[in-house]
Amino acid sequence: MTGFRRLLVVVTDAGDAAPALDRAVGLCRASGGVLTVLGIVDPPLPAPGADGAEAAALRRAVARERELLDARVDALLATARAAGVAADGKVETGLPLQVAIGTAVRGRYDLMVKAVDDRAAGARAPRGPLDQSLLREHPGALWIEQPGVPAELRRVLVAINPDPAVPEEYRLSVDLLRSAALVAQVTRAELQVLHAWKLFGEWRSVYDRWTDPELAPLLGATLNRHVGYVDRALAEAGLAEAKLRRHLVHQRASRAIIDTVRAEAIDLLVMGTVGRTGIPGFLIGNTAERVLGEVECSVLTRKPDGFASPVLA
């Protein structure tokens, strides 16, 4: 993503869309971009064996819901235009995941922005089912706005794994750095970079038989190698001289990201949800699944170039 020129704000009947619109408006004003507000009505299915009267009642319910969503979209558009942003809108009926992803891909939007869905009482996940499905299956850049995050972002954390031996992850790491730097620039936030590293095969039982002195030279050499990986990715992203904070953490990636988000009071986490070759939508090592299931900041995620969403298959 080279800029925030075309933004798609997704609105459903679950949750308050205002935080997502406010974030999108701020990004558009900084970049001179335009936005589209997409309202999605998820039609209920009639029960098996339903008669004509029940089907007619469902149609009337969907029509009322569409009227309400039309009014919400119009109000959001008025807010965006009052802020000086070019905006248009529409309401579609269909399965929200398919409508949102299909619209984003066909319209070549740079970024999809969505507020967190309302969750059932007692739900542990910080995002709702549609949010989680979009994080897994949307092929483009996706911003999930968490309620309560300051309008002026203070700290942006980007998690990368720029191992040149894995070209897909290295290229994605460079893209993530550029995206995070762009956000930090337009929002005047502090940029922090996290890379979690380990020895090859670490946390397997073989290392339990080694003493710390025996491991020290290997740990030092491995850390130096990973510092070089980060330096190379920063240079390729144009950030070699940028003012930022680095975290090179000797820890499992998911734990390192979660702990850093909490310790640093991060407002926005930028990370990849990486599709394994041949398994569209699968998250490598479940790292992203663990992280996104626990952190309660806003998130901006990206997929590798060429990711094939199963929704579009």
pLDDT in 10s for each residue of the chain, 313 residues: 457 899 999 999 888 899 999 999 999 998 899 999 999 998 776 666 667 777 788 788 888 989 999 999 999 999 999 999 999 999 999 999 999 999 999 999 999 999 998 765 445 556 778 998 898 889 999 999 998 888 899 999 999 999 998 888 899 999 999 999 999 998 999 999 999 998 766 655 554 555 667 777 888 898 999 999 999 999 999 999 999 999 999 988 899 999 999 999 999 999 998 655 444 444 444 678 888 888 989 999 998 888 888 888 7
Classify domain 152-313 at the CATH superfamily level.
HUPs (3.40.50.620)
CATH code for residues 1-148: 3.40.50.620
Kindly report, as residue ranges, where domains of CATH 3.40.50.620 are found in the chain.
1-148, 152-313
Q: How far apart are CA 76 and CA 82, in angstroms?
A: 10
What is the structure's pLDDT at 282? 44
218 Cβ partners below 8 Å, 6+ apart?
199
What is the structure's pLDDT at 219? 84
What is the structure's pLDDT at 210? 55
Contact yes or no for 134/69 (Cβ under 8 A): no
What is the structure's pLDDT at 306? 80
What's the pTM value of the predicted model, to 2 decimals?
A: 0.88
What is the structure's pLDDT at 123? 53
What is the structure's pLDDT at 166? 86
